[in-house]
């Protein structure tokens, strides 16, 4: 079978000056979540697919709330339609009060503005979260949905069994969408000192991603942000500091790291229009800590 | 009957190549012997028998919506636990993991995790995991505060297949069967780690 080499070009926009920058509010010192500057460096086109990626959120702490407040402020200038959650949505308990304290109370302003959350399950999550109204999982631990020309595959990396692998293979085989994105909790590649790459998971899922033209993979589990150097043409991101931070955990000089940020909590803003995926990573202080654009999604090989 | 040694060597090499190829693809490399097949089937039947029982109990309960409120999720889980616990009074270790099944599963795990993989698995389960407080009691809930440690994907490809309602979970050196909806520990086997 002829293998079509995927062509992906990543341009790191150091200054990000080629895209429209919008400033909604400029704080006096930019050092707290409530008054930090909101500087958008994404095209922000109306017909784009716009969303956020967060992970490992479910602590219910003041820090999680602060990051959510920064998200809300960015939503005012960049009206993202939905949020992808990388799992560990609820630490330490699954009672009704936990759903409220660790999710609803934190993201209420976004929920009120009809922002939808699409969750994946982590190693701290009860399977019953798949029934929760605000996680939009349709009662499934792994599921698929489309937005414009983008296909999303939310997987349960905590239990990647044969049934799930078969489902993923079958679903991807008939998917003709331009962009195929997979997201789940455990990172196949990571420079984290505490966990590191999930090689057993990678052994199973990466050949499927390569075969079926998955371009981008988002994961969490590690409590920091990392952009991995492209692996077999696929861009891997870790966004796992939405509620917890493992400061200084990224191994210095890791050959996997293209860019990492482990000094504070963060989330990712993503915009996909036609053949480009723009991303901007925002810290709890509202600072942009990474950004760039991925061009030309991969094709099925 | 004499076996041609050349053919035997060629056959062995071919078998090794197939095994290596399959392993690289992350698929089951081991072909089950009739005895292993029998043990696996018996184990799977016992798992299915539990699942059938709990499905019947769940069918008598109000169905949980796909857009459920947190209170509904909590209530459903609690009631489901109570019903299954009552129906399984007297359940004991080994009801599903028979001694034969446990021996068979131990062998699979040992074969899957060798050298560096074995060290990493033991390190993850015995040192890093946040589930060491899980009490080892059949027909009792797996505490919600405890981590549901990820099951290695390559191992799941090799272990006997479970109904979707059941999950394998490592806790300390044990392998548990946990019901994913009601959270009950259905059974466990000891000395599971290589």
Residues 68-97 of A with CB under 8 A from B: 92-97
* CB-CB neighbors (< 8 A) of A127 in chain B: 180-181
Question: Is residue A26 over pLDDT 90?
Answer: no
Q: Which residue on chain A is closest to B27 by alpha carbon?
A: A204
Q: Given this model, what pLDDT does residue B29 score? A: 57
Please tell me the distance in Å from A227's CA to the nearest CA on chain B. Answer: 23
Q: Given this model, what pLDDT does residue B19 score? A: 38
Interchain CB distance below 8 Å, A95 and B145:
no
Q: Given this model, what pLDDT does residue B43 score? A: 97
* CB-CB neighbors (< 8 A) of B74 in chain A: 94-96
| pLDDT category of residue A33 using cuts at 50, 70 and 90 | low
Choose, out of B130, B150, B161, B175, the residue to mutate when testing the contact with A (most A CBs < 10 Å): B150
Question: Is residue A266 over pLDDT 50?
Answer: yes
Chain B residues with CB within 8 Å of chain A CB: 25-26, 64-74, 76-77, 117, 128, 130, 144-145, 147-157, 161-162, 164, 167, 180-181, 183
* CB-CB neighbors (< 8 A) of A185 in chain B: 150
Q: Given this model, what pLDDT does residue A179 score? A: 97
* CB-CB neighbors (< 8 A) of A207 in chain B: 25-26
Please tell me the distance in Å from B20's CA to the nearest CA on chain A. Answer: 14
A158 touches chain B (CB under 8 A): yes
Residue that has been written with the tokens 């857009």 in this structure: B67
Q: Given this model, what pLDDT does residue A297 score? A: 82
Buried b / exposed e over A10-21, threshold 16 CB at 10 Å, is eeeeeebeebee
Question: Is residue B6 over pLDDT 70?
Answer: no
| pLDDT category of residue A298 using cuts at 50, 70 and 90 | confident
* CB-CB neighbors (< 8 A) of A208 in chain B: none
Contacts of A120 (CB under 8 A, 6+ apart): A84, A85, A86, A87, A154, A155, A156, A157, A183, A184, A185, A220
Mean local confidence (pLDDT), A188-196? 96
Q: Which residue on chain A is closest to B144 by alpha carbon?
A: A93
When CB atoms are compared, the residue of A124, A162, A186 closest to B147 is: A124
Q: Given this model, what pLDDT does residue A224 score? A: 98
pTM comes to 0.89
Q: pLDDT, tens digit, for every residue of B128-185?
A: 899 999 999 999 999 999 999 999 999 999 999 999 999 999 999 999 999 999 999 9
When CB atoms are compared, the residue of A96, A160, A204 closest to B71 is: A96
A56 touches chain B (CB under 8 A): no
Percent of all residues in chain A with a pLDDT value above 70, rounded to a whole number: 88
Interchain CB distance below 8 Å, A131 and B74:
no
Please tell me the distance in Å from A268's CA to the nearest CA on chain B. Answer: 25
Q: Given this model, what pLDDT does residue A2 score? A: 41
A160 touches chain B (CB under 8 A): yes
Please tell me the distance in Å from A124's CA to the nearest CA on chain B. Answer: 5
Question: Is residue A233 over pLDDT 80?
Answer: yes
Question: Is residue B5 over pLDDT 60?
Answer: no
Interchain CB distance below 8 Å, A162 and B161:
yes
Q: Given this model, what pLDDT does residue A11 score? A: 42
Interchain CB distance below 8 Å, A162 and B148:
no
Question: Is residue B16 over pLDDT 70?
Answer: no
A12 near A219, Cβ under 8 Å?
no
Q: pLDDT, tens digit, for every residue of A105-163?
A: 999 999 999 999 999 999 999 999 999 999 999 999 999 999 999 999 999 999 999 99
Interchain CB distance below 8 Å, B157 and A162:
yes
Mean local confidence (pLDDT), A52-57? 98
Interchain CB distance below 8 Å, A165 and B181:
no
A225 near A262, Cβ under 8 Å?
yes
Question: Is residue B30 over pLDDT 90?
Answer: no
Q: Which residue on chain B is closest to A135 by alpha carbon?
A: B67
Mean local confidence (pLDDT), A271-297? 95
Interchain CB distance below 8 Å, A203 and B74:
no
Residue that has been written with the tokens 């692998």 in this structure: A165
Mean local confidence (pLDDT), A274-297? 95
Please tell me the distance in Å from B95's CA to the nearest CA on chain A. Answer: 23
| pLDDT category of residue A12 using cuts at 50, 70 and 90 | very low
What distance in Å separates the CA atoms of residue B57 and residue B156, rounded to the nearest whole number?
28
Please tell me the distance in Å from B116's CA to the nearest CA on chain A. Answer: 12
Choose, out of B23, B73, B142, B153, the residue to mutate when testing the contact with A (most A CBs < 10 Å): B153
Contacts of A258 (CB under 8 A, 6+ apart): A227, A228, A229
Question: Is residue A32 over pLDDT 80?
Answer: no
Higher confidence at residue B128 or residue A9? B128
Angstrom distances, CA of residue A70 to CA of A64, A82, A142, A247, B81: 10, 15, 29, 20, 40
Interchain CB distance below 8 Å, A159 and B128:
no
What distance in Å separates the CA atoms of residue A273 and residue A124, rounded to the nearest whole number?
34
A158 near A121, Cβ under 8 Å?
yes
Q: Which residue on chain A is closest to B150 by alpha carbon?
A: A158
Please tell me the distance in Å from B65's CA to the nearest CA on chain A. Answer: 7
Radius of gyration of chain A (CA): 18
What distance in Å separates the CA atoms of residue A80 and residue A42, rounded to the nearest whole number?
12
């Amino acid at each position: 079978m002829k293998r079509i080499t995927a062509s992906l070009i990543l341009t790191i926009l150091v200054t990000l000056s080629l895209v429209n920058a919008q400033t909604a509010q400029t704080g006096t010192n930019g050092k707290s979540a409530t008054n930090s500057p909101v500087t958008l460096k994404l095209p922000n086109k109306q017909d784009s697919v716009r969303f956020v990626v967060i992970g490992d959120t479910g602590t219910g702490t003041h820090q999680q709330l602060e990051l959510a407040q920064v998200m809300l402020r960015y939503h005012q200038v960049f009206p993202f339609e939905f949020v992808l959650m990388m799992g560990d949505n609820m630490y330490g308990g699954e009672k009704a009060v936990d759903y409220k304290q660790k999710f609803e109370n934190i993201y209420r302003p976004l929920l009120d503005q009809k922002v939808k959350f699409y969750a994946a399950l982590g190693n701290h999550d009860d399977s019953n979260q798949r029934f929760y109204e605000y996680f939009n999982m349709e009662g499934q631990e792994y599921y698929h949905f489309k937005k414009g020309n983008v296909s999303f595959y939310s997987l349960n990396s905590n239990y990647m069994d044969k049934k799930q692998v078969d489902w993923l293979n079958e679903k991807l085989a008939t998917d003709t969408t331009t962009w195929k994105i997979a997201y789940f909790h455990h990172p196949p590649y990571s420079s984290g000192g505490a966990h590191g790459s999930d090689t057993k998971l990678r052994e199973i899922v990466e050949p499927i991603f390569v075969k079926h033209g998955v371009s981008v993979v988002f994961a969490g589990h590690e409590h920091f942000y990392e952009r991995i150097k492209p692996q077999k043409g696929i861009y891997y991101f870790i966004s796992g500091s939405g509620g917890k931070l493992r400061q200084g955990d990224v191994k210095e000089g890791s050959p996997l790291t293209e860019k990492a940020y482990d000094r504070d909590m963060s989330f990712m803003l993503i915009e996909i229009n036609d053949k480009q995926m723009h991303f901007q990573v925002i810290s709890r202080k509202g600072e942009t800590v990474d950004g760039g654009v991925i061009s030309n999604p991969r094709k099925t090989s | 009957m004499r076996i041609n040694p050349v053919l035997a060597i060629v056959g062995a090499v071919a078998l090794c190549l197939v095994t290596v190829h399959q392993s690289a693809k992350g698929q089951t490399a081991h072909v089950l012997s009739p005895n292993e097949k029998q043990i696996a089937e018996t184990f799977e039947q016992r798992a299915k028998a539990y699942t059938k029982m709990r499905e019947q109990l769940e069918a008598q309960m109000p169905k949980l919506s796909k857009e459920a409120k947190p209170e509904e999720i909590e209530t459903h889980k609690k009631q489901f636990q109570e019903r299954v616990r009552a129906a399984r009074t007297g359940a004991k270790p080994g009801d599903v993991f028979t001694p034969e099944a446990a021996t068979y599963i131990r062998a699979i795990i040992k074969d899957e995790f060798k050298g560096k993989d074995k060290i990493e698995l033991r390190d993850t389960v015995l040192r890093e995991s946040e589930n060491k407080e899980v009490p080892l009691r059949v027909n009792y809930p797996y505490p919600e505060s405890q981590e549901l440690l990820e099951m290695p994907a390559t191992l799941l490809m090799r272990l006997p297949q479970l109904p979707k309602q059941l999950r394998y979970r490592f806790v300390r050196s044990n392998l548990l069967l946990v019901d994913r909806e009601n959270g009950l520990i259905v059974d466990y086997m000891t000395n599971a780690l290589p």
